[in-house]
Amino acid sequence: MQTVTVLGATGSIGCNTLDVISRHPDDYRVFAITGNSQLDLLMQQAKACSPRFVVVADEALFDDARKLAADYGVTADILCGQRALEEVASAGEVDIVMAAIVGAAGLIPTLAAVKAAKKVLLANKEALVMSGALFIDAAKQSGATLLPIDSEHNAIFQCLPQDFEYGNLQSAGISSILLTGSGGPFREREISTFKEITVEEACHHPNWDMGRKITVDSATMMNKGLEFIEACWLFGASADDITVVLHPQSMIHSMVQYVDGSVIAQMGNPDMRTPIAYGLAWPQRIDAGVETLDFSKIASFTFDTPCMERYPNLKLAIDACRSGQAATTRINAANEVAVGAFLNKQIRFTDIAVVNEETLNKMEPMTVCSLQQILEQDHAAREVAQQIIRGFS
Ligand code: NAD
Ligand code: MG
């Protein structure tokens, strides 16, 4: 029996994680679930999975949460705030932590799990993008097991040799990591009309059902850019080792190409329960509740090269990856602010890339290493991005 904390339980990944866990009551027990604002859903989840702790990240909602817990008959201890998130991520009883908070807010609790040597299932790509070497070094030092949940990285992980050593792509005979992406909802839309893209259009992904931030990131392909940076850190790869391949059907989740000409791909229906189940049970396999891929119904698999004029955010992120940690921390922060402003209808879809690029241009190059420096750069980039957004109106 493994004990699991689900950070960001009320989100799309969190709900899918609880779904997989519920299929294996003899193998997994939920220790804690956390959420930020959707209290009703959080209490319904608590009622269904009977955790020891329910954590509400937003301290202002503590009283409401306690009242609601009583109404629902939830017996778990209700905690709130940042420290509580860290505590349930690092508690001695916990074996597995699903890191599924969205954005930079997930960094500190995820790092707490890493430092406590947990088996960390990493969905929260922004945490790794913003902290890079610090995050990986913390995992190496503590001996934490880091398993990628992002479907592409989970696929790459599955396609690597079993004895793959971090960073040793060449000795493993790997010539390229092929990071696939669908191209989002605007892959074929006339670029001259991108200014008119509405929030509703950007929040509708053709293949995946996800949270709003990552759905917008998929439409701009910043998501693939963040994943490019994520892949470098997860596997110790360099930017030259990774090629982005468009694959609109989202059935191949990524591939690894070897020097002998072999390409190993991982396929499946686009359902996040596959990588989640793989992470939970690794190195074993368990039922995820996912429909099997029916090859008699697949019309075709197609591939393309992304056009950087269509996806300026992808280029910005790859350039930031080559530039170094300050740039990746900053672009992640700026993008979070810009996507928030787009979702609030303060800026246009095309302004997201403008905010990201201008934020990077306005900030001096520097070396960032410590957690404090990372948090300072995250904060500073948010301020610059907000200033740029104010300048639009
Ligand atoms: P979501 O918006 O559906 O859920 C986010 C979760 O984070 C919620 O539980 C929310 O309460 C919590 N949260 C939000 N702000 C918080 C804060 N300030 N403090 C504490 N908790 C907070 O997002 P999602 O789609 O589930 O994505 C979660 C993470 O997984 C993201 O980093 C995303 O990039 C990554 N991811 C998601 C998918 C997917 O299919 N949804 C796929 C790959 C990677
Ligand atoms: Mg992904």
C-alpha–C-alpha distance, residues 285 and 318, integer Å: 34
> pLDDT tens digits for 117-147?
999 999 999 999 999 999 999 999 999 999 9
Do the beta carbons of residue 10 and residue 41 sit within 8 Å? yes
> pLDDT tens digits for 8-53?
999 999 999 999 999 999 999 999 999 999 999 999 999 999 999 9
pLDDT higher than threshold 90 for residue 372: yes
Per-residue confidence band for 208, with pLDDT thresholds at 50, 70 and 90: confident
> pLDDT tens digits for 156-194?
999 999 999 999 999 999 999 999 999 999 999 999 999
CB of 10 within 6 A of ligand 1: the answer is yes
Per-residue model confidence (pLDDT) at position 47: 98
Task: Pick the closest to residue 75 from 97, 100, 54 (CA basis).
Answer: 54
Do the beta carbons of residue 291 and residue 270 sit within 8 Å? no
Do the beta carbons of residue 149 and residue 106 sit within 8 Å? no
Q: Residue 16 CA: which ligand is closest?
A: 1
Per-residue model confidence (pLDDT) at position 393: 73
Model pTM score? 0.98
Dihedral of alpha carbons 281, 287, 291, 296, sign = positive
Residue 190 CA, ligand 1 centroid: distance in Å: 30
For 370, list phi and psi in degrees, rounded to 5: -80, 165
Distance of CA 85 to the CA centre of its chain: 18
CB of 332 within 6 A of ligand 1: the answer is no
Per-residue model confidence (pLDDT) at position 392: 87
Roughly how many angstroms between the first and final C-alpha of the chain, as a whole number? Answer: 55
Protein residues near ligand 2, an ion, with CB under 5 A: 150-152
Per-residue confidence band for 204, with pLDDT thresholds at 50, 70 and 90: very high
Residue 151 CA, ligand 1 centroid: distance in Å: 14
Do the beta carbons of residue 149 and residue 13 sit within 8 Å? yes
pLDDT higher than threshold 90 for residue 234: yes
Q: What is the DSSP letter of 290?
A: P
pLDDT higher than threshold 90 for residue 235: yes
Per-residue model confidence (pLDDT) at position 206: 86
> pLDDT tens digits for 331-348?
999 999 999 999 999 999
The residue nearest atom 21 of ligand 1, judged by CA position, is 36
Do the beta carbons of residue 283 and residue 272 sit within 8 Å? no
Do the beta carbons of residue 129 and residue 104 sit within 8 Å? no
Q: Residues 6 or more apart from 70 whose CB is under 8 A from it? A: none
Name the one residue in this structure whose structure tokens are 């990552």: 214
Residue 326 CA, ligand 1 centroid: distance in Å: 23
**Beta-strand pair 174-181/252-258:** antiparallel
Do the beta carbons of residue 54 and residue 32 sit within 8 Å? yes
Do the beta carbons of residue 183 and residue 258 sit within 8 Å? no
> pLDDT tens digits for 290-327?
999 999 998 899 999 999 999 999 999 999 999 999 99
